[in-house]
Structure 1
Amino acid sequence: MTTINGSQANSTVDDQHSNNNDVPGSGGFITKVTADVIRSAINCYLLPPVVLFGWIGNVLSLIILGGKKMRQYSTNIVLAYLAFIDTLLLLIAFMRKMPCLVGKADPLTAQTIDYVMLTAPLILELIASRTSSLLSLVICCERFIAVFKPLKVKLWVTPKRMIFSVF
C-alpha cells in the first residue's frame, strides 16, 4: 500500500488498464474497431476460399472412399462419413457467415439473413461437430483394436459393424 498525495492506492496494474481497451493508443492489444475490421476480413474474404477448397477435398474424398473396392475396409467407411459431416460443417459455416458477403451489397437483407441463420444452423453445427468427434472416436477405437489385437481385428471389426457403430 502506497500513499499518493495523502490517499491510499490499493489498485493493481490490471485495475489501471482494465477500462482502457476502447481508447486508441491506451496500451491495449487491439481496439474494438481493429477487431471488427479483422473479423470482417476473415469472414468475407478468407472464409469463402477455405470453404471452396474444403468442399473440393471432401467431394474428392467421398468419390475415392465411395468406390466398391474402398468400401471393403472398415476405416474407409468411417472416413467417408467423416468427409460427409465435414462437408456439412463447411456448408453451415458458410451459411452463418453469408450475411457478411450479402451486407456488401444490401445491409438490410444481410440483417434479415443474419436473424434467420442464427438458430437452425447453429443447432445443426452443434450436432455435426459432435458427430465428427464421435466418428473420430470410432476410428481411434478401431485402430486400437488393430494394434493390440491384430489377429482378432478382422473378426471383430467388419464393415457392417462399423456402419452399425456409426448409426
Structure 2
Amino acid sequence: MDSQQWMACSILLLVIIGSFGNALSFLLFSRPHMKCSSVNVLLCALSFIDFSLLLLSIPTFVIPNLDLWLSAVTFLAYVLKLIYPLNLIMQTCSVYTMLVITFERWTAVCRPLQVRVWCTPKKSRLAVLCIFVFAVLYNFARFFEYRLIHTTDGAIYERWLRDPTNYR
C-alpha cells in the first residue's frame, strides 16, 4: 500500500467514527423535546450537515485513492463532477452554522436580556435555511469548475474554470 492508500484508509476510518457520532447527535437533537431551544435546533442542523459532509467525502477523497474503480473511470468522473461541489456546499454550511452557533452563544452570555427575542427556534431554522441558500449560491460555479473529456478509455475530468491557460 502506498501513502495515498494509507491516507484513504485513514480518512475512511475517520468518516466511520465521525458518521457514528454525528448520527447519534442528530438522533438526540431531533427529538421533539429537544427542538424547543434555538441552540439545539442549530446543533441538530450541524450534526446533519457534518454527517452529509462525511458521507460525501467518501466518493471524493476515499474511493479514487483506493483504486477500487479503475475499470469505471467514466462513472467516477461523473460522480466527482457532481459530488465535489456538493461537498463544498456542505462544508460552507458547516462553517456558517458554527458561526451562527457562536453568535447565539455570545448573545446568551453577553446580552442575556435580548436572548429570548433574538434566539428562538424559528429564527434558528430560518438561519439554517438562509445558510443553505447562501452556500448553494456561493458554490454554484463549482458545478462548472471541471469539464469532462471523453477518451477511448472513458471520461476523465480536467480543471476548466481555474485553468490559467483559459485566461491568457
User: Which has the higher Rg, Structure 1 or Structure 2?
Assistant: 1
Could you tell me how far 1:68 is from its partner in structure 2?
Answer: 1.5
Partner of 1:143: 105
Query: 5 Å matches for 1:32-43?
Result: 37-43=2-8
> In the aligned structure 2, how far is the partner of 1:52 from the partner of 1:114?
21
Question: Does the CA contact (< 8 Å) of 2:59 and 2:80 recur in 1?
Answer: no
CA distances 1:83-110 after superposition (whole Å, capped 9, x unpaired):
1111111111101122334x25x6222x
Distance 2:37 2:64 in 1: 42
| CA–CA separation in structure 2 for the residues paired with 1:113 and 1:83 | 29
Question: Map of 1:80-159 to 2, 5 A cutoff?
Answer: 80-96=44-60, 97-101=62-66, 103-104=67-68, 107-109=70-72, 111-159=73-121
SS at match of 2:80: coil
- State the match for 2:27 in structure 1: 63
SS of the equivalent of 2:31 reads coil
Q: Is 2:38 aligned against 1:74?
A: yes
Contact 1:99 1:113 in 2 (8 A): no
Q: Given residue 114 of structure 1, which amino acid in structure 2 is its aligned partner?
A: L
Taking the aligned partners of 1:112 and 1:70, their CA distance within structure 2 comes to: 45
Amino acid at match of 2:44: A
2:48 is aligned with what amino acid? Answer: F
- Where does structure 1 lack aligned partners over 5 or more consecutive residues? 1-35
Matched residue, 2:14: 50
RMSD: 1.7
Percent of aligned pairs sharing the same letter: 31
Letter of the aligned partner of 1:108 in structure 2? Answer: S
| CA drift at 1:38 | 1.3
| Structure 2 alignment gaps of length 5 or more | 130-168
- Matched to 1:118, the amino acid is L
Can you list the C-alpha shifts for 1:102-143, whole angstroms capped at 9, x where unaligned?
x25x6222x334312321111101111111111011111111
TM-score (norm 1): 0.70
Give every structure 1 segment of 4 or more consecutive aligned residues whose post-TM-superposition deviation is greater than 4 Å.
none
Distance in 2 of aligned mates of 1:156 and 1:77 = 14
Superposition TM-score, scaled by structure 2 size: 0.70
| Count of matched residue positions in the alignment of Structure 1 and Structure 2 | 128
Mapped contact 1:88–1:128 kept (Cα < 8 A)? yes
Q: Which has the higher contact order (CA 8 A, sep 6+)?
A: 2
